[in-house]
Amino acid sequence: MYSARMSTSDRLIESTRELLWERGYVGTSPKAILERAGAGQGSMYHHFKGKPDLALAAITRTAEEMRTRVGRLLDGPGTPAERVRAYLLRERDVLRGCPVGRLTMDPDVVASDELRAPVDETLDWIRERLAGLVEEGKEQGEFAPELDGEEIAATILATIQGGYVLARAAGSPALFETGIRGLLSLLTPTTPVAPAGPIAPSAP
């Protein structure tokens, strides 16, 4: 399942990442981790202090991977509006849900400050970056001037995470896709917005 060149510790981390996404913290047993990783008994405790330590490594790697992937879109080419659109329309495994967002619904992860930290940091980073792009877009006339960057960023994340829930409940990505299209239609002004500029002096 994993590359023969992958170290045992990496196989343990990767198997834990997948199991956390599929089963949550409680359902991710050391036995299941070892079986999926193809590792022998005792290898977990050779490389990690225990399940919480391994789970932290797995969650941290998942969070870092998401920031890298999302960063390529939010910091990539194009105008602010184009980058926001690229983020909203990026390819996702909708029915599996967000590997980071799903962790916020895991009571064992939420109850642990250490396990929750990389999740909170990643969602905060995405929200802050989106808010900055909305403000940039307002200055360039791409977004309506009355929009608030922080509010729109929170709305984007809420739409995406809520869309995953609706899609999983329906067994179809259709509602997720509908929500994204609806949000894009709300963000797109019906008439061009003049970019902000200096106020012309009034006539004498």
Q: Is residue 163 part of a domain?
A: yes
The residue with tokens 């990783």 is: 37
What's the rounded Cα separation, in Å, for the pair 185 and 181? 6
Q: Is residue 15 part of a domain?
A: no
Average pLDDT over residues 168-195: 85
Burial class (CB in 10 A: 0-12, 13-18, 19+), 85: middle
pLDDT digits (tens, 9 = 90+) for 9-39: 999 999 999 999 999 999 999 999 999 999 9
Q: Is residue 119 part of a domain?
A: yes
**pLDDT of res. 203:** 37
* Angle between helices 149-170 and 113-139 in degrees, nearest 10: 120
CATH code, 74:
1.10.357.10
The residue with tokens 């259709």 is: 174
pLDDT digits (tens, 9 = 90+) for 59-75: 999 999 999 999 999 99
Q: Is residue 89 part of a domain?
A: yes
The residue with tokens 């996404």 is: 21
The residue range of the domain holding 148 is: 58-187
Q: What's the total number of domains in the chain?
A: 1
Q: Is residue 24 part of a domain?
A: no
Q: Is residue 81 part of a domain?
A: yes
**pLDDT of res. 202:** 35
**pLDDT of res. 204:** 35
What's the rounded Cα separation, in Å, for the pair 171 and 157? 21
Average pLDDT over residues 84-111: 94
User: Per-residue pLDDT for 138 more than 60?
Assistant: yes
Which token pair is 189?
């002004």
Percentage of the chain with pLDDT > 90? 82
**pLDDT of res. 199:** 41
User: Per-residue pLDDT for 198 more than 80?
Assistant: no
Q: Is residue 121 part of a domain?
A: yes
Distances from the Cα of 14 to the Cαs of 29, 36, 91, 123, 203, in angstroms?
A: 14, 9, 21, 21, 68
Least confident of 89-93, 144-148, 194-198: 194-198
Q: Which residue has the higher pLDDT, 174 or 192?
A: 174
CB of 100 within 8 A of CB of 159? no
Average pLDDT along the chain: 90
Q: Is residue 193 part of a domain?
A: no
